[in-house]
Amino acid sequence: MQAITKTMIEEAAAFIRRTTDVRPEIGLILGSGLGVLGDELEDAVTIPYEDIPHFPVSTVEGHAGELLIGKLQARNVMLMRGRFHMYEGYEPERTALPVRVMKALGVEKLLVTNAAGGINLDFAAGNLMLISDHINLTGKNPLIGPNDNALGVRFPDMSEAYSKRLRGIAKETAKELGFELKEGVYVGLLGPNYETPAEIRMLRTLGADAVGMSTVSEVIVARHSGIEVLGISCISNAAAGILDQPLSHEEVMETTERVKGQFLSLVLTVLPKM
């Protein structure tokens, strides 16, 4: 697989610029079942991923595979309905290519969302969790290979991967809305199988509160690019072994469907304050 080059990023960005006059300042990446937010955009242009030079195509059910650019709460946004996962066979730098393209288009802030399994025993399916930090257990890294200093430094700082400022805004907003907002550490694994109960016990011991198969490579690239990040997980199920029942993608989709109203109002209220 060809490495991501500055030319590829520029070609994708140039294509997108030709489709719209809107210059996005906030990027949004929507996880499984959370794509409804895209319906709220005003004056949106929709671009299928397959039309964008060098973009991969998302292959997962519940991940639509289109980029939307428009206005949301009077902010110019670039929204990804569907994302790319390493378990689909994409190299980590390719899963994060859209973040590079966002940066090239002028995005300075990123809201990443995902569906995740709840490891913390105080969490229930349907809770929303503010991501305070992450643990990258994918064994992969999107910054492997020669570093382009024009994109970011060789050894980026990750001590505030998820912006304290934006977390404060999200917590404040949840309080105003009267929502319970959990907070915790997201651990990113490769997938695509769900974890074993033994793995979940290990992850809990390691300090993780929620587990998923996305997000970490995007956030690493965002931080490398100097983009400020806010992360929200929808706890779609209790992680393996907590309840005496098997896990399924259907359950994940059902839960995200159930909490989409709360998710929408939280994001729509946070966005203008970002």
Query: By the criterion CB under 6 A, which residues form the site for ligand HPA?
Result: 115-117, 194-195, 211-213, 236-237, 239, 247, 252
Considering the complex, state which of residue 236 and residue 262 has its C-beta at the smaller distance from ligand HPA: 236
Catalytic residue set: 32, 63, 85, 87-88, 115, 213-214, 237, 249
Cβ atoms within 10 Å, residue 45: 14
Contact 213, 191 (CB under 8 A): yes
DSSP string, 153-203: -SS---TTSS-HHHHHHHHHHHHHHT--EEEEEEEE---SSPPPHHHHHHH
Least distance (Å) between residue 234 CB and ligand HPA: 8
- Token code pair at residue 264: 């929408």
Considering the complex, state which of residue 53 and residue 241 has its C-beta at the smaller distance from ligand HPA: 241
Least distance (Å) between residue 52 CB and ligand HPA: 26
Considering the complex, state which of residue 47 and residue 259 has its C-beta at the smaller distance from ligand HPA: 259
Residues 6+ apart with CB under 8 A from 29: 79, 80, 83, 98, 110, 111, 112, 113, 218
Torsions phi, psi of 208, nearest 5?
Answer: -95, 145
Contact 26, 110 (CB under 8 A): yes
Contact 174, 266 (CB under 8 A): yes
Least distance (Å) between residue 126 CB and ligand HPA: 12
* Pairing verdict, β 66-72 and 42-48: antiparallel
Least distance (Å) between residue 221 CB and ligand HPA: 20
Distance CA 62, CA 34 (A): 9
Contact 70, 64 (CB under 8 A): no
Considering the complex, state which of residue 16 and residue 29 has its C-beta at the smaller distance from ligand HPA: 29
Least distance (Å) between residue 115 CB and ligand HPA: 4
Cis peptide before 192 (omega within 30 of 0): yes
Least distance (Å) between residue 241 CB and ligand HPA: 10
Considering the complex, state which of residue 228 and residue 263 has its C-beta at the smaller distance from ligand HPA: 263
- Among all residues, whose Cβ is closest to ligand HPA? 117
- Angle of CA points 192, 82, 66, to nearest 5°: 145
Considering the complex, state which of residue 20 and residue 217 has its C-beta at the smaller distance from ligand HPA: 217
